[in-house]
A and B are shown apart, each in its own frame.
Chain A
Amino acid sequence: MSIEELVRAELRDVAGSVDVPRMPSLDAEPDSVRHRWPVLVAAAVVGLILVGGAQLVLRDRDTAPEPSRPPEPTPGVTRTPSGGTVPRTAPSGAVVFGGAGTLSVDGKPVPGSWQVVAQQGPVWAAYLTDWGELWWGRGADRHRIDGPTSGLAISPDARSLAWGATDAQGNDTIHLVDTASGQERARLPVEDRGAAGGPVMLTSGGTVVFQHCVAPATDSGGWPTCSKARLEVWLPEMGVTDRLPLPASKPDVLSRMVVPSGTDNGIIAKSRREARPAYLRITRDGAAEVVAALPWRAVAVSADERFVLVEGECAGPLCPWEVEPFGGGERREVRPPSGWSFMPSTADRRLFSAPLFTQYGEPLFVLSHSVEEGSLVTIDVASVRSQEVRPARCDLSDPRCVLVEPN
């Protein structure tokens, strides 16, 4: 008997001998069923969504007159000792993550069980777990992305979206779409991109930074992976691709080489796990300008490029996050909201985990922090009394944080 026949017979024997219990009630919503998704991922998704929404708040605030001296504390806003204000609220009109597995757009729930992958202003991408489908949308207008995908990025101005996909013949292509029209603006065939490739960053100018697998492989489960990759930049308007000046990555940092940060064309990148991270800007002509070497464990540069957020060493459940001036100087601890703490580090997983998307297994590499405007960042925090996880917005110029209130 061959191994195939043996497996077939064994599976049928086992299935035939299983004692099938009575069907349980189906009245329970899926949330009441035991979930094994890590709390961290769910929390990170919440954070990402609220961060995107918060950017709208901040942009709105830029155009609104600032009250000189409010007589009473304004609901939803906490004043920092330095006089700056840290908005607590997520805006209406944007995508809102309404709880585990749910997605709301413009205040209306979208049917299905969703895992949000990325969001920027009104543009979102989410995985419909019921059907194993990836969708993107601008508000309520949504589009399905067909085929196995890897890598997805939304430009900071939310006008463009890029992802990598593999067609039925195994050809890899990076797609760039205009989110207003829903039409594809450009596509780039990429030889041997591999599952770990795909866009990791998209500037407002439409420049795509993507990981290019140059040595495809398969993992022990037979799934595509990669043993060597490099970062490349694609300028669709000019039809140009070029390598970024980083050595090829080792597989253990694949998918984690770059984090969008700072300005809308800034990234933190490192070439291998042991390397010190560097801050780069992608210029309009597609070159990578190395701006500065960053401290070890640097995870973000503020949008005003004045501060560097550094993840500290965790001691048990306590994980200090710190901030230091961009050019170096005294490091200060970032204070979480009272009663909350930054979460235990899974640093290697989070540090350079760009919000890539893979369909199965480890599906969501979502940052637990995100850069907002000015000196603001959002970091996920955990309650010291319960397992609740919420995003907190922190002002790195006066390193304290407030909880972001869900819609």
Chain B
Amino acid sequence: MTGADDDFTEYAAAAWPALYRRAYLLAGQHADAEDIAQQTLIRVRRHWAKVLKADSVDAYVLRMLTNVFLSSRRPARVSRELLTVVPEPVSDPPEDLRGVLWPHICSLPDRQRAVLVLRFYEDLPEREIADVLGVTAGTVKSTAHKALANLRTALGKEFA
């Protein structure tokens, strides 16, 4: 085993739990999360020399993880159709709704969920999210807005 292999193995072992958690937030289920995290690490290993040259290894790997997630899923046409009409925002939900929000997050279209995870779990600014996703900051902003509006509406209906 070469030094580079050792370095990667050490990195992978350390990064696995965080990668898995991120993948779970994106995919919403364990089987997909494991696939996504595993495939990401396989790609990281394949490009390890290039990854090490990145300004931020974590940022690069996050970008790869997000790409694996978005490119490995078929379009969620049904859920998209259900959400074609942008819902009217309702007032903010009460605090005791924590715990019931996750199923609604899982039901969002992939891109909306990815933006929410990057924005509210990774705490990335819009510009960096745009870089990760390869879209404009304006698109990130509107996507987050619609995702939150969808969640508000879903919660409003559940507790109406």
Contacts and interface: CB of A to CB of B under 8 A. Distances in A.
Interface of A: 1-4, 6-16, 18, 20-21, 23-24, 26, 28-30, 33-38, 111-113, 115, 129-132, 147-148, 166, 168, 170, 218-224, 359-363
Contact of A359 (B21, B134, B146, B150): B134
B93 interface: yes
A14 B67 contact: no
Given A14-B24, A129-B71, A221-B143, A3 B35 contact: no
Contacts of B94: 1
A29 B39 CA distance: 8
A352 B45 CA distance: 39
Interface string B105-123: 1000111100111001100
Nearest to B30: A21
B9 to A, nearest CB: 9
A26 B41 contact: yes
Interface string B124-160: 0000000001111011001111111011100000000
A363 B136 CA distance: 17
A6 B98 contact: yes
- Which secondary structure dominates chain A's binding surface? loop
B4 interface: no
A33 B38 contact: yes
B136 A361 contact: no
Contacts of A219: 80, 84
A170 B67 contact: no
A102 to B, nearest CB: 12
Contacts of B43: 30, 113, 130
B83 interface: yes
Contacts of B71: 115, 129, 360, 363
Contacts, number: 169
Nearest to A28: B42
Contacts of A361: 70, 75, 110-111
B74 interface: yes
Contacts of B92: 1-3, 6
B61 to A, nearest CB: 11
Contacts of A38: 74
B120 A131 contact: no
B38 A26 contact: yes
B146 A3 contact: no
B34 A14 contact: no
Contacts of B120: 4, 7-8, 11
Given A3-B148, A220-B80, A223-B135, A20 B21 contact: yes
10 contacts: A1-B95, A13-B98, A23-B12, A28-B38, A148-B134, A218-B139, A219-B80, A222-B139, A222-B144, A223-B143
Interface in B23-43: 24-25, 30-31, 34-35, 38-39, 41-43
